[in-house]
Amino acid sequence: MRAIPSGSQTVGPFFRIGLEHLCGGSDPEPSGAVMVKVRGKVFDGNGAPVPDAVLEIWHADSSGRYDSARPDDRRRSPCFTRAATDEDGEFGFSIRRPGSVPCEMEVRQAPHLSVLVFARGLLRHLMTRMYFPDETANETDTALQLVPEERRSTLIARGSGSEPGSLEWNVVLQGEEETVFFAW
């Protein structure tokens, strides 16, 4: 008989105590790697910034592979980081730009970040994805195709006018511009 997975509970407002050690900077910048900076805000259903959320960014490496190598002395994974929001609901992180994940069973995947959202008020974390604005592969990406067209833009970051090479992407938990979240 299959065991039933344990129930989820909120991270609450004080998660920094336990989770902050993995916040900020996923990996040392390897020479030649294309780094991407992402900034954004988390909003609630009233459009108010959420100052006590933490995002987890899970992604493939530049060759499209997940974290399968296992050197035991490595402190940080090159394919994972956390970013907590500040008092204005703002987060920021810098990662190595992921490659395309190889196709399996005919599904197609454009380069993307899987993002888990935790916050006070979220009894179960939310799962979403961030895509890059300049990728033609977005047009054939299976996950994006499953999203109603009018909501797809919530998953695609925008180029930031102020800083070349950096992106802006917001997470809206509820409301008119609600980010697309995936069931898990």
x/- binding map, residues 135-174, to other proteins, per CB under 8 A? -------xx--xxx--x---------------------xx
For residues 166 and 180, which CB has a smaller minimum distance to other proteins in the complex?
A: 180
Helix (H, G, I), strand (E, B) or coil at 20: helix
Please tell me what DSSP assigns to residue 142.
H
Helix (H, G, I), strand (E, B) or coil at 41: strand
At 108, which amino acid appears?
R
Q: Using the rule CB under 8 A, which residue among 28, 31, 32, 71 binds other proteins?
A: 71
Q: Using the rule CB under 8 A, which residue among 36, 50, 83, 130 binds other proteins?
A: 50
Taking the CA atoms of 83, 99, 169 and 119 in sequence, report the sign of the dihedral they define: negative
For residues 64 and 159, which CB has a smaller minimum distance to other proteins in the complex?
A: 64
Residue 31 interacts with other proteins (CB under 8 A): yes or no: no
Q: Using the rule CB under 8 A, which residue among 34, 74, 133, 158 binds other proteins?
A: 74
Residue 67 interacts with other proteins (CB under 8 A): yes or no: yes
Q: Using the rule CB under 8 A, which residue among 4, 32, 136, 149 binds other proteins?
A: 4
Rounded CA-CA distance 155/85 in Å is 19
CA distances for 92 relative to 41, 86, 136, 137, 144, angstroms: 9, 10, 25, 25, 24
Residue closest to 87 by CA, chosen among 20, 123, 41: 41
DSSP strand pairing (171-172 vs 35-43): parallel
- Tokens (6 digits) for 8: 């989820």
Residue 2 interacts with other proteins (CB under 8 A): yes or no: yes
Rounded CA-CA distance 26/61 in Å is 11
Q: Using the rule CB under 8 A, which residue among 9, 31, 136, 162 binds other proteins?
A: 9
Q: Using the rule CB under 8 A, which residue among 126, 130, 157, 167 binds other proteins?
A: 126
Stretch that binds other proteins, among 30-38, 119-127, 131-139, 156-164 (CB under 8 A): 119-127
Beta carbons within 10 angstroms of residue 88's beta carbon? 10
Q: How far is the CB of 112 from other proteins (least distance, A)?
A: 10
Residue 15 interacts with other proteins (CB under 8 A): yes or no: yes
